């Protein structure tokens, strides 16, 4: 497969996943904030922090309000991680590989993009909710279409890898920010608001119902354990790493537990750390420190994938050394 | 949305004062509704109906011609309860449940309250729901009624009364949670500027309550919800609660008694069950102990329960305190066990069991509401002022034949809430069913299910008989501590790394 094509499939899938996750963040926060009263007390800043784009946000909008956050995260074309920008990028990638993906998938991506773009003048509460619901649904529809119409060849595996690495990153972000906000309140542990906030955290990863089945009652450590280390829940970080690695090895043909390139080495190391870590170890290290280190390493995986597959050059050049730093 | 032609018509209105101005607690909501453009509320009501249909939030009506599965009716105008009033209701309910639980425990043990002459023996022993097999049972922690759904009504003078206790298998709490969800989806703007106590943690609370009564053992207790099956009117709720708690939903045929334990049949063999949140009636629980024709229950279940190897919520036998003749004695019951005056009063009640009260009832049938002592769901009630001569005569005969089985209450002018009727708002009568959980402490879910009689002038709120529902908003009286702590001014903050981006430039 052409490096360029692989690159596009990978990012097409990653951007769709990003759009869906941004929609999840906003929707969950909105649900949480609705009965919490005065708008001045609403917490919208953490949402911006989750995305890691707080500097450009503050520069352009100042303090975070519901309206400014909606605008920035959903419709702002200058924010490269807004839902609209993600969909634009996904669609551009899809256009570059229209001949590779099934037509029905292209059409759905196109329809999805147009739908959000045509909404982009509206910033009302009601309209925003509808858009968010639609974003989640469309993203999942596209995954479903890919799953049932694409051969399990290289393209499908690059798509899955892009989606799952992006998802692992986003799950780590919601955990990071919410954990920070929720934990310091020792006096509120076990109070209704506390349980509701933790349930909302799970909900933003669509994890509440599955969490209940395996863990029952809500405790902060069990929530962290579930979202980081569960092997079976499709939005847990561990699950994403396991499945992404499967796709990586399906692409290269390397035997499991071995590596032939930087991508395999980086991802394999990261995944194996998850295989053998306990949530107590993570809490001991500090959740934020753990997540920060995780994101750093995930970035290295991303770099390595880029160098290994997308930036194919006649001979290994300085890029590889850079990635190793 | 136009309130111009809205009239309280002399009733107590939950949104408006007698002079037609909005109550201070409802002023914010009134403002928001009043500024909606023409037809907007109706448009949203249609959207809400569609959402309910899509979500499959339904209930079953028995013996209905055009399909038995009905979409849950939710009216978008909420009922608002002030923080102070809620505090009062909550205290009243906690007091009542504490006393009733002590009463049930006493009834199945020493019956001290009878020895002390507070409740007449004959009245108690003639109660249909007094279950002999429950005598001497000691459920874990002495808790019998883990889940209660007390019906409250407000009379014309504004006083709240307890109408019924519902200590057996009260249903409706799933609709409280789903109503809130649908409200947030369809009228998010209505929430603005209001601080409303959340209801979303109910499943967690219920699970905690159930786990709390598990027999001592290793590891996490295995809790299940026992349903009569998909044809039961509350089946939606059974599956909803099981899903939200993450526990298994079982039917009687999934359970079996083996080696002194209740077990589920699974693909990996038998699995021990520790707690059963059962949503089937007492007498169907175990065909060996109660009705031998029950196909819903589990043969041998009661023996395991008696031995303390499985917990049942609610414990069997709680229905005795649901008997309406016993209900009339609740003020005395509270005084007897707690030494306190009743906080939330009963509706004044005549028990026909007492000959003097009975003759008063017979003489004033056309002014009173007559209720059989052991029915629920609004069945068998005769509303005197609205009954025909023939109906009243029939009713009198039934009372004379078996006075123990009837009570009578004055007809209340139930309070009203503005409700969307066709193209405008009209007042409709409501009641309120809060839900109470009795575990380590007593917890009352803020608000509860507000049921509304959609037919003009009707007082019947039961969904099986043309009733609808409303979201209930309990306003918070507490300062916004959490939000202050997390307000953006808070200097500490997580800084996440920016997301990765594609290296290529799409051309």
pLDDT tens digits along B169-182: 999 999 999 999 99
CA distance B369 to A265: 79
CA distance B389 to B202: 47
Instruction: Let me know: does B385 contact B366? Beta carbons within 8 Å.
Output: yes
HEC profile of B349-361: CEECCCHHHHHHH
Best of A2, A21, A35 to substitute, by most chain B Cβ atoms within 10 angstroms, is: A35
Residues in chain A with CB shorter than 8 Å from the CB of B188 are: 30, 34, 125-126, 129
CA distance A142 to A106: 9
Task: Identify which of B388, B346, B348 has the alpha carbon closest to the alpha carbon of residue B365.
Answer: B388
Q: Tell me if residue B75 falls in helix, strand or coil.
A: strand
* Gyration radius from chain B CA atoms: 25
Partner-chain contact B184 A52, CB within 8 Å:
no
Q: How far are the Cα atoms of A7, A107, A129, A145, B32 from residue A141, in angstroms, in the given order?
A: 22, 11, 18, 6, 36
Task: Identify which of A89, A83, A109 has the alpha carbon closest to the alpha carbon of residue A27.
Answer: A83
Partner-chain contact A212 B246, CB within 8 Å:
yes
**pLDDT for residue B466 is more than 60:** yes
pLDDT tens digits along B468-486: 999 999 998 765 444 333 3
Could you tell me which residues come within 8 angstroms of residue A121 by beta carbon, excluding any fewer than 6 positions away? none
The pLDDT score that the predictor gives to residue B490 is 37
- Whether the link from the prior residue into B314 is cis, omega within 30° of 0, is yes
Question: Length of chain B, please?
Answer: 507
Taking CA B396 as the corner, what is the angle to CA B392 and CA B400, rounded to the nearest 5 degrees? 175
B200 versus A321: which is more confidently predicted? Answer: B200
Instruction: Let me know: does B19 contact B421? Beta carbons within 8 Å.
Output: no
The pLDDT score that the predictor gives to residue A179 is 67
CA distance A281 to A296: 19
Q: In what order do the strands lie in the sheet with B261-266?
A: B255-258, B261-266, B269-272
Partner-chain contact B188 A129, CB within 8 Å:
yes
Best of B37, B207, B506 to substitute, by most chain A Cβ atoms within 10 angstroms, is: B506
Residues in chain A with CB shorter than 8 Å from the CB of B246 are: 209, 211-216
A278: left (phi over 0), alpha (psi -120 to 50) or beta: beta
Confirm or reject contact between B117 and chain A (CB < 8 A). Answer: no
Taking CA B33 as the corner, what is the angle to CA B27 and CA B34, rounded to the nearest 5 degrees? 85
Partner-chain contact A311 B193, CB within 8 Å:
no
pLDDT tens digits along B269-328: 999 999 999 999 999 999 998 988 888 899 999 999 999 999 999 999 999 999 999 999
| Paired residues of B351 in beta bridges | B407
Print pLDDT tens along chain A (325 aa).
899 999 999 999 999 999 999 999 888 888 777 766 554 456 788 888 878 888 899 999 988 888 899 899 999 999 999 999 999 999 999 999 999 999 999 999 999 999 998 886 665 777 788 889 899 999 999 999 999 999 999 999 999 999 999 999 999 988 887 766 655 554 555 566 678 888 888 988 889 999 999 999 998 889 999 999 999 999 999 999 999 999 999 999 999 999 999 999 999 999 999 999 999 999 888 888 899 999 999 999 999 999 999 988 776 555 444 444 4
Partner-chain contact B207 A217, CB within 8 Å:
yes
Instruction: Let me know: does B201 contact A192? Beta carbons within 8 Å.
Output: yes
Partner-chain contact A49 B483, CB within 8 Å:
no
Picking from A11, A36, A44, the nearest residue to B195 by CB comes out as: A36
**pLDDT for residue B363 is more than 80:** yes
Picking from B180, B499, B503, the nearest residue to A52 by CB comes out as: B499
Instruction: Let me know: does B409 contact B350? Beta carbons within 8 Å.
Output: yes
Confirm or reject contact between B9 and chain A (CB < 8 A). Answer: no
Q: In what order do the strands lie in the sheet with B382-383?
A: B350-351, B406-410, B368-372, B382-383
Q: Tell me if residue B210 falls in helix, strand or coil.
A: helix
Partner-chain contact B193 A41, CB within 8 Å:
no
Tokens for A69, please give them.
Answer: 């956050």
Partner-chain contact B198 A35, CB within 8 Å:
yes
pLDDT tens digits along B401-430: 999 999 999 999 999 999 999 888 999 999
The pLDDT score that the predictor gives to residue A195 is 82
Instruction: Let me know: does B200 contact A199? Beta carbons within 8 Å.
Output: yes
Q: What is the mean pLDDT of residues B429-449?
A: 96
pLDDT tens digits along B88-112: 999 999 999 999 999 999 999 999 9
pTM for the whole thing? 0.88
Please report the number of interchain residue pairs, chain A to chain B, with beta-carbon separation below 8 angstroms.
Answer: 152
pLDDT tens digits along B131-187: 999 999 999 999 999 999 999 999 999 999 999 999 999 999 999 999 999 999 888
Task: Identify which of A21, A173, A169 has the alpha carbon closest to the alpha carbon of residue A83.
Answer: A21
CA distance B484 to A188: 14
């Amino acid at each position: 497969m052409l490096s360029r094509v692989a690159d596009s499939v990978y990012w097409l899938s990653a951007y769709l996943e990003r759009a869906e996750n941004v929609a999840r963040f906003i929707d969950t926060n909105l649900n949480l904030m609705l009965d919490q009263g005065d708008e001045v007390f609403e917490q919208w800043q953490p949402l911006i922090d989750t995305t890691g784009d707080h500097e450009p946000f503050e520069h352009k909008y100042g303090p975070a309000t519901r309206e400014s956050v909606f605008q920035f995260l959903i419709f702002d074309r200058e924010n490269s991680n807004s839902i609209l920008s993600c969909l634009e990028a996904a669609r551009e990638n899809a256009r570059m590989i229209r001949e590779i993906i099934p037509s029905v998938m292209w059409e759905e991506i196109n329809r999805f993009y147009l739908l959000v773009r045509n909404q982009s003048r509206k910033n009302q509460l009601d309209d925003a909710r509808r858009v968010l619901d639609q974003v989640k649904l469309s993203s999942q529809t596209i995954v479903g279409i890919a799953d049932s119409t694409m051969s399990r060849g290289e393209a499908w595996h690059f798509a899955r890898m892009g989606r799952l690495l992006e998802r692992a990153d986003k799950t780590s972000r919601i955990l990071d920010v919410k954990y920070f906000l929720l934990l310091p309140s020792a006096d509120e542990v076990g109070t209704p608001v506390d349980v509701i906030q933790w349930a909302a955290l799970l909900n933003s990863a669509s994890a509440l119902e599955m969490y209940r089945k395996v863990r029952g009652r809500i405790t902060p450590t069990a929530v962290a354990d579930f979202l980081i280390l569960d092997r079976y829940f499709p939005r847990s970080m561990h699950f994403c790493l396991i499945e992404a690695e499967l796709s990586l090895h399906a692409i290269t043909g390397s035997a499991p537990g071995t590596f032939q390139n930087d991508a395999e080495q980086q991802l394999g190391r990261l995944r194996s750390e998850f295989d053998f870590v306990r949530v107590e170890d993570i809490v001991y290290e500090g959740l934020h420190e753990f997540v920060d280190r995780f994101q750093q390493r995930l970035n290295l995986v991303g770099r390595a994938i880029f160098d290994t597959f997308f930036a194919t050059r006649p001979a290994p050049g300085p890029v590889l050394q850079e990635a190793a730093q | 949305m136009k309130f111009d032609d809205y009239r309280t018509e002399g009733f107590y209105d939950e949104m408006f004062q007698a002079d037609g101005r909005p109550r201070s607690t409802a002023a914010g909501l009134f403002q928001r509704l009043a500024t909606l453009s023409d037809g907007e509320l109706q448009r949203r009501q249609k959207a809400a109906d569609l959402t309910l249909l899509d979500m499959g939030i339904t209930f079953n009506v028995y013996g209905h011609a055009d399909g038995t599965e009905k979409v849950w009716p939710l009216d978008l105008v909420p009922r608002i309860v002030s923080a102070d009033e809620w505090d009062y209701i909550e205290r009243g309910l906690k007091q009542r449940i504490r006393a009733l639980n002590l009463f049930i425990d006493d009834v199945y043990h020493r019956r001290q309250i009878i020895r002390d002459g507070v409740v007449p023996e004959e009245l108690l022993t003639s109660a249909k729901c007094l279950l002999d097999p429950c005598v001497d049972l000691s459920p874990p922690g002495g808790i019998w009624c883990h889940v209660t759904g007390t019906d409250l009504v407000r009379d014309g003078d504004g006083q709240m009364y307890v109408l019924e206790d519902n200590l057996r298998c009260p249903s409706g709490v799933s609709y409280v949670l789903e109503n809130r969800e649908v409200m947030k989806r369809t009228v998010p703007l209505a929430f603005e500027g209001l601080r409303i106590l959340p209801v979303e943690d109910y499943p967690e609370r219920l699970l905690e309550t159930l786990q709390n009564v598990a027999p001592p053992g290793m590891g996490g207790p295995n809790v299940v919800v026992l349903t009569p099956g998909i044809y039961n009117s509350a089946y939606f709720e059974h599956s909803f609660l099981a899903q939200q708690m993450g526990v298994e939903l079982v039917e009687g045929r999934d359970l079996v008694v083996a080696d002194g334990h209740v077990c589920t049949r699974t693909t990996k063999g038998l699995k021990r069950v520790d707690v059963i949140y059962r949503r089937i009636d007492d007498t169907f629980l175990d065909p060996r102990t109660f009705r031998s024709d029950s196909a819903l229950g589990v043969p041998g279940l009661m023996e395991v329960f008696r031995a303390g190897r499985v917990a049942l919520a609610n414990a069997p036998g709680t229905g005795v305190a649901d008997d309406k003749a016993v209900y009339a004695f609740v003020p005395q019951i509270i005084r007897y066990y707690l030494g306190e005056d009743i906080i939330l009063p009963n509706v004044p009640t005549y028990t026909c069991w007492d000959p003097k009260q009975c003759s008063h009832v017979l003489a004033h049938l056309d002014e009173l509401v007559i209720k059989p002592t052991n029915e629920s769901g609004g069945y068998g009630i005769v509303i005197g002022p609205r009954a025909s001569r023939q109906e009243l005569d029939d009713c009198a005969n039934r009372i004379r034949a078996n006075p123990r089985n009837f009570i009578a209450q004055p007809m209340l002018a139930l309070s009203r809430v503005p409700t969307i009727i066709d193209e405008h708002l009209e007042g409709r009568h409501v009641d309120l069913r809060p839900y109470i959980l009795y575990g380590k402490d007593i917890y009352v879910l803020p608000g509860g299910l507000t049921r509304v009689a959609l037919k003009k002038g009707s007082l019947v709120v039961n969904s099986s008989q043309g009733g609808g529902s409303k979201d209930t908003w309990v306003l918070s009286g507490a300062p916004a501590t959490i939000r202050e702590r997390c307000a953006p001014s808070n200097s500490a903050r997580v800084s996440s790394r920016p997301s990765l981006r594609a290296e290529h430039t799409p051309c």
